[in-house]
Amino acid sequence: MSLILSLLLLQAAPHAMPGEATVDPYVASNANAGATPFTGDAMARAFHGQEGIGRVVDGMVTRAYADPVIGEIFTSHDKIRLKRTLVEQFCYILNAGCSYSGRDMASSHKDLGVQRKDMNRLVELLQQAMREEKIDFQAQNRFLSKLAPMHHDVVGQ
């Protein structure tokens, strides 16, 4: 118990930033990002650094909320917090200089009822956003290869 408390104190990242809806407390950790980061800076450069990652996440999330297939999964969710934690997650995995302060994939997708078709649709929207940012196609797939194994914690929860 004291270990968890000291961990909570050590992890200074807040569960919710100002302007975001509150969430149940959890222990923030990069392990929650669900993938090990790339080494070196090639992937961060391929995604045009933190600014490019920000534009990719913005493009994907904006499309997701408006999407006829998966939009209703997102509508009840805090878009501001989702964007912030996704930027952190992508930036951490791409080794672009961020820590991830969000929840793990299983908790953050619990009871959303996400099916395979929804996951594939989100992949397509991410591909559209990456294409719009003119990210090299091989780098797009390298990034997707880090996200693909997460489907176990996302689909059918």
Partner 1 sequence: MTRFSFFALAALTLALPAGQAMAKPLRNGGKLLLTNGISSLEGAAGGGLTPWAVIAGNETDEGFGLSAHGTIVEVKDYDYQSAGVAIGIRDRLELSYTHQDFNTNEIGAALGLGKDYAFSQDIVGAKLRVAGDLVYDALPAIALGVQYKKNGQGDVVRALGARDDEGVDYYASVSRLFLSRSILLSATARLTKANQMGLLGFGGDKNGDYGVEFEGSAAWQLSRGLAIGGEFRSKPNNLGIAREDDWFDAFAALSLSRHLTATVAYADLGSIATVKGQRGVFLSLQAAF
Give residues in contact with partner 1 (CB under 8 A): 69, 115-118, 120-121, 123-124, 127, 131, 137-138, 141-142, 144-145, 148-149, 151-152
Task: Please identify, using beta-carbon distances, which residue of 45 and 131 lies nearer to partner 1.
Answer: 131
C-alpha 119/C-alpha 149 separation (Å) is: 12
Task: Please identify, using beta-carbon distances, which residue of 87 and 119 lies nearer to partner 1.
Answer: 119
Q: Shortest Cβ distance from residue 97 to partner 1 (Å)?
A: 22
Q: Shortest Cβ distance from residue 115 to partner 1 (Å)?
A: 5
Task: Please identify, using beta-carbon distances, which residue of 96 and 154 lies nearer to partner 1.
Answer: 154
Task: Please identify, using beta-carbon distances, which residue of 29 and 127 lies nearer to partner 1.
Answer: 127
Q: Are 75 and 65 in contact (CB under 8 A)?
A: yes
Q: Are 91 and 50 in contact (CB under 8 A)?
A: yes
Q: How far apart are the first and last CA of the chain?
A: 28
Q: Which CA distances in Å does 73 have to 81, 115, 117, 122?
A: 15, 11, 12, 11
Q: Shortest Cβ distance from residue 6 to partner 1 (Å)?
A: 35
